[in-house]
Amino acid sequence: MVAVTFMSITSVGEYTSSTEGVFFKTLHTIDNKFFLMEGLVNEYPPPSATALYNEIRTLLSLEPHRNISAPPIAVIVSPRDNLVIGCVYKYHAHGHLAEYPSAHSLQSLRRVLDWAVDIVEGISHMHRNGILHGDIHLQNIIVADDLTLQLIDFGMVKQLSQRDKQNKFQDDVLCAKTV
C-alpha cells in the first residue's frame, strides 16, 4: 500500500459520522470517480488510530472474498509524524444495509435469502482465517454495486491463536446457496 497526497480530491458532502471519525463521499477530479474517505478528525493524535491500523492489517491479511470489503485504495498520512489518519475506499452508491431497504424495494424473498447467505459466508471466511469481527451490525454491512453484501469496519477484530482456531472453529457453519 502506498501513501499518496490527495490534492485532486474535493469533498462533495459528509457521508456519515461516528465517534471515531468522519466519512466523506469524495470526487477525484482527474478520474471523475467517487471514493469513500474515512478521516480521524476528533483529536490528534487520534485515539482510534489503533482501530484503523487493525482494519488495514486485517484487510491486507485476508484472501479476497466477495463478501468482505476490499482493502483501502490508499491511506492518508500526517506529514507531521507519518501517522495514518485516514483511508480511501471504493465508494458504493447503495450505502449500508440499514439504508438500502428504505430507499429501494427488496424485490423478493430470494434477495433477502441471498443476503443472509452473503453475511454468513463473509463471517465464515473470517472465522476460517481465525478472525472475529466484533462489531457486526447493519451499518457495517454495505450493499455492493452488484447487490451482494460485504462486511466492512474491521477496527475491532480479534485475531485468534492457532489453538483457539482449532478448538472453536472445527465445526464452522457451512453455507448453502439458495435455490
- Render pLDDT for 139-175 as a digit per residue (tens, 0 to 9): 899 999 999 999 998 888 888 876 665 555 544 444 4
126 compared with 12, residue with greater pLDDT: 126
pLDDT at 179: 40
Mind listing the pLDDT tens digit for each residue in 95-120? 888 888 766 666 678 888 999 999 99
Terminal-to-terminal C-alpha distance of the chain: 39
Cα dihedral 65, 66, 68, 69 sign: positive
d(CA 117, CA 99): 19
Structural domain boundaries in the chain: 9-168
Q: What fold characterizes domain 9-168?
A: Transferase(Phosphotransferase); domain 1 (1.10.510)
Instruction: Answer yes or no: is pLDDT of 40 > 70.
Output: no
pLDDT at 146: 93
C-alpha cell at 13: 458532502
Please give the share of the chain, as a percent, with pLDDT higher than 90. 23
Judge whether 66 and 150 are in contact, CB under 8 Å.
yes
Place of cell 450493499: 143
The pTM assigned to this predicted structure is 0.74
Instruction: Answer yes or no: is pLDDT of 42 > 60.
Output: no
C-alpha cell at 138: 447493519
